[in-house]
Structure 1
């Protein structure tokens, strides 16, 4: 697993979703199950999202150049945004179709084959979820971690489809389109979550609690009198930290530089920070 690349996970997702979406859409239309059709369209959005993520991962691998001194890592976040827009559009379409079916009240009793299709899909998708979750941890890929979360929601959607179809078999035929509505809502909710996280990263958002941990550890380094300011941002999977520290004013350049090196090593070895910019200022005692 350690030798594997995150784009392998994207390829696995694309292959799985192609099989599942085609199967669910075919069986859904043949068995007249609104829930299974919605589940199939859900997986179709995942194909497009996975392709966008794959493109982002491939672009992110490009080396630094004159126009991109920090590399191309943010391409992952842009691909996540594109995936979110695609998912939201199809999710809204599923919601509209479900509402129309409920409004018209023309319920059709779906065939039990829809239950078996959804059940097998849930088991299969859970296996894909476990694979990509583990791969995301090993490769530290934010995009793949987001994809894994979507896989888990797909498992829950398939379970919901089973409930809807079985309910329709038990004369609660309204439950099938209601389940389709819930699935559409889940698609939109997942899209919003991906959009929110990606836009947070692209606008240089960073967790304040994590920065406080960095600050506390830096202040414990021998020679650091005070941490004046610390900022963080993400470039794809890479963390970039800007920190201003104060040292005793009588220290020479070499000693001050050694302290800055200790700060960089701490952030790299303990937290995996790729880039740390340490600015040094003389410490002034308050009277």
Structure 2
């Protein structure tokens, strides 16, 4: 648990540091280089700082041990943090879309940004893509929904910077509408990413679970030595942890100790294969088929 939280917080701190650096860079060059696109991209990064801070707070709260009101701990706060990140992302995405539509119908060809702003935008895209790859790999390694949300936000920011660079270059060659089209596409991508994060977090918070994974877990239980049958299995996500309950049927002639040993073996198999640390196994007697 501590290792998971420490790694997740490290990824969030890296994102926050990157956003602070890039927002200062983009706002400065966007203002002095007369680039509205780069300036807007810098403002976008300032909202990302808020989203990352929300995730960081969620991660810190999720580390709290169980108490009287939270017998299972506070891990689900991490999922709530990913929801907050999704809401902030969709807000930014809609702002980008509305701004793009407005720019398309109100094109201003009097201001041509400095070419240096395009280089800054390209550098920012490459830099943020590297952060995205790091956090994506980290989210898969520690199975963190909130860090996955942060990684998707990183990718969206890289796309926004690419859109800004395309718009700046288009303006330099006289294609003034290219900025608006690029921004529109980027805005749609950001909203789609936010929706994916919101959907996954909502499924987790409403105790939804991957049916295919549940079947694989059930097969592992059935293959455990001593298990004759399984009549029920259910699971839910609690932050990054899986909570599982199963009812298995064993030989009714076994002693309590022998039946208990089977449950221990099931728990060991699930921990080794799926890293499931919380398992409740209910034992029922197996009714052998009557011989004809």
Please confirm whether the aligned pair reaches a TM-score higher than 0.5, indicating the same fold: yes
Pairs within 5 Å for 1:201-216: 201-216=204-219
Match of 1:246, SS state, is strand
Structure 2 CA distance, aligned partners of 1:3 and 1:195? 22
Structure 2 CA distance, aligned partners of 1:127 and 1:94? 23
What's the counterpart of residue 153 of structure 1?
Answer: 156
What's the counterpart of residue 36 of structure 1?
Answer: 38
What's the counterpart of residue 107 of structure 2?
Answer: 105
Structure 2 CA distance for partners of 1:195 and 1:127, relative to 1, 3 Å:
same
Tell whether the 8 Å contact from 2:107 to 2:176 is kept in structure 1 after alignment: no
Gaps of at least 5 residues in structure 2 are: none
Match status 1:64 vs 2:66? yes
Q: How many residues align?
A: 287
Question: Displacement, 1:165?
Answer: 1.8
Match status 1:182 vs 2:185? yes
Structure 2 CA distance, aligned partners of 1:25 and 1:189? 26
Question: Displacement, 1:204?
Answer: 0.9
Question: Displacement, 1:280?
Answer: 1.1
Match of 1:172, SS state, is coil
User: Residue deviations 1:38-57, cap 9 Å, x none?
Assistant: 43233233211101100000
Pairs within 5 Å for 1:56-205: 56-107=58-109, 108-205=111-208
Structure 2 CA distance for partners of 1:32 and 1:196, relative to 1, 3 Å:
farther
Which of residues 21, 24, 36 is equivalent to 1:22? Answer: 24
Structure 1 CA distance, aligned partners of 2:188 and 2:50? 18
What's the counterpart of residue 219 of structure 1?
Answer: 222
Question: Displacement, 1:284?
Answer: 2.3
What TM-score results when the alignment is normalised by the length of structure 1? Answer: 0.91
Tell whether the 8 Å contact from 1:109 to 1:173 is kept in structure 2 after alignment: no
Structure 2 CA distance, aligned partners of 1:21 and 1:196? 29
What TM-score results when the alignment is normalised by the length of structure 2? Answer: 0.90
